[in-house]
Amino acid sequence: MGEDRSWAALIAEDAGIDRTDLRPQHTFEHLGLDSLALLRLRVRIEEDFGVWLDETEFNATTTVAELEHLMSGG
């Protein structure tokens, strides 16, 4: 899922888990990320990586794999 300081590393940090424990099938709910945490995550990704994420598409993602697909231009 990319380099260590990646969007996946941000998810792991917000979820309070080690980056190596993050799996594509993990849901944000399973990771304990509520809607406010996901809003913060989207803003951090946009600021840290200089990208814009469509709010509707981002909110439709429920797993790490779906976010990975969105981040790859999916």
Helix (H, G, I), strand (E, B) or coil at 15: helix
User: 1-53, pLDDT tens digit by residue?
Assistant: 444 478 899 999 999 999 999 999 999 999 999 999 999 999 999 999 999 99
The secondary structure of the chain in percent helix, strand, coil, rounded to multiples of 5, reads 55, 5, 40
CATH of domain 7-71: 1.10.1200.10
Q: What is the largest CA-CA distance in the chain?
A: 28
Residue 74's pLDDT is: 72
Q: Are 8 and 45 in contact (CB under 8 A)?
A: no
pLDDT band at 61 (very low <50, low <70, confident <90, very high): very high
